[in-house]
Structure 1
Amino acid sequence: METRRYTTKQIEQAAADLKAGKLVAFPTETVYGLGADATNPEAVKQVYAAKGRPSDNPLIVHVAKISTVEHYAAGVSQQFKRLVDAFWPGSLTIILPLKHAAFDTVVTGGLKTAAFRMPNNAATLALIEAAGVPLVGPSANTSGKPSPTLADHVLHDLNGKIAGVIDDGPTGVGLESTVIDLSVATPVILRPGVVTQEAIERVIGPIRTNQHRVSATEIPKAPGMKYKHYAPNAQVYIVPSATDFKAAISWASQQNVPFGLMAVDQVLTQQSAVRFKDQFSLGNSVTSASQHLFEGLRYFDLNPEIKIILVQGFEKLGVGLAYMNRLEKAAGQQYFTSK
């Protein structure tokens, strides 16, 4: 199969592929998603096969209209309506209880809930409208690898496995959406993102954050809760703060393997006299670091010589919580420590 690179002016052609049961990757403001008709179980099964994704990992349903959610959900609450008014289209995914048999179990992982999102990308909203159906859309990458923030990343992983990808340039946010569960008595954030707990609580009042670790036999309610994610080929070590880089570099130098650095510009400038194999700039703040985290991990994946990547950590506040959530999974919780 030849994977086509669609422009944003070729939405109708991409929608025709989706209607035919094929897979098309689409851009969002967060990362690129791998689209399939959410009402076509055979098409959805292809998503799992193309990604190598475990089939008990539920999929987010992408919509272009609130009425689509109301069609499938078993009622929507005032909390849902307030969140939609505040954050849609945008980087917030909302889990709701479903009407009986609203979606096939291949979409829901066998749960009685589904996660819904309206992405903030004009091309993808037009694609959903043209296809006439909601689209599942997990990240368009090989399962477990860094999420794609460019169409080139999609093609690197999935070329020949999907019908096409709509190229709309780099994504703006760079981290997957916040996931909040409204199917429980007290809403709970299951995956942090750029829509923070503080921002949500200003809209609907107190909520909880997930502290539960999903067991090997348990079905997760949201993506990214159970399996190792975002990992490049090299071992990632989190450097807790900018002041720890000197010691971390000294340690890495003694491992007798090529290593690289991912940090903000100020840190990279301070280490310019140190010998290391390669570097990737995370910009100048935790916000820019979040936008470029996956891009940096993929950058080093293209250099198989690199065996260790030292990546700057940030305080777990605001967007830093989402950044560290992804980075800890990429590193397998491995931190550099001088002790």
Structure 2
Amino acid sequence: MSETINDTRTAEPVVLTPELLRAVVEATASGDAAAIKELIWPLHPADVASLLGAMPPASRRAMVTQLGTDFDPEILAELDEDLRTELVRALGTKTVAEAVKELDVEDAAYVIEDLEDAEKREVLAQVPIEDRAEVVDALLFEEGSAGRLMHREFVAFSPLLTVAEALTQLAAPDSPEDYQEIYLVDADQKPLGFVPLSRLLRSPRSARLADIATDEMKVIPATTDQTSFAYLFEHYHLTSAPVTDDRGRLVGLLSAGSVVEILKEMHQSEVLALGGVQEDESLSAPIRKVTWLRFSWLFVNLLTAILASIVIGFFEASLVEVVALAVLMPIVASMG
């Protein structure tokens, strides 16, 4: 894939302002892709996602189309469901396939999980076989399960290795780029414990990993739903946890960063539910979808309001005689 627009960013925090939004919309309207890149390159993908959410639908679709292969695939992983689906279709299957190659497996699965089956097949057909197999494997797990959300890059060594041998292997070019723990596994790839990276670096080079490891860890089966493993992270203050398949083999890990995002979504859903807003409704959802989602409870509210007004009508004579009772009418209506 060509070089993305977010390879370098300024150290100063960038604030999304109405002026920035206006400038991006104007650059998009004039078809000036170079100006769009200059305006958004300092932004983190999450900020660009927020910017897209604030733009008019026609403008954001035009923007991602004009950027083409310069559109940072990390942005797709930061969008909500409705907005992501809208922009994925605007980008086209070829560009989305390129994005899938660049993203982590869990993010790639998140990007295409809501597409129609035919669209998924079209995207995956353009992805190399190895990457395709990993994404398909992730999609086989239930949405929101540990298997769908886990990171598939981790470090696992035999407990018989010494610290020096472990450090040599970690220096290899094919070693994962980002990790905090080294997991110890037996011959069947079942997790036995882990060694924090900081402890590994401070330990004598001749020490064996088994001697400096801790076995106090919470192992999460890949089929565990997000509510259950989010509780484990919150209750036990975990920073990460190994994920195992149905045979108990280590297949991935969950990080606190992913769980924090899940807890945020769960809290947001609870707050929206208090206002009668359904879980799958978002600010970027099409008007028809929002109307359909809200129609049922709005219709019920209308019926109860009508019923309240009928009840009030039965006491019309009393209201005429005691006008002060009219003060209570809004209360009666709201109780409907």
**TM-score, structure 2 normalization:** 0.24
Whose helix fraction is larger, Structure 1's or Structure 2's? 2
**TM-score, structure 1 normalization:** 0.24
**Greater relative contact order, per chain length (Cα 8 Å cut-off, separation 6+):** 1
Structure of higher CA gyration radius? 2
Whose strand fraction is larger, Structure 1's or Structure 2's? 1
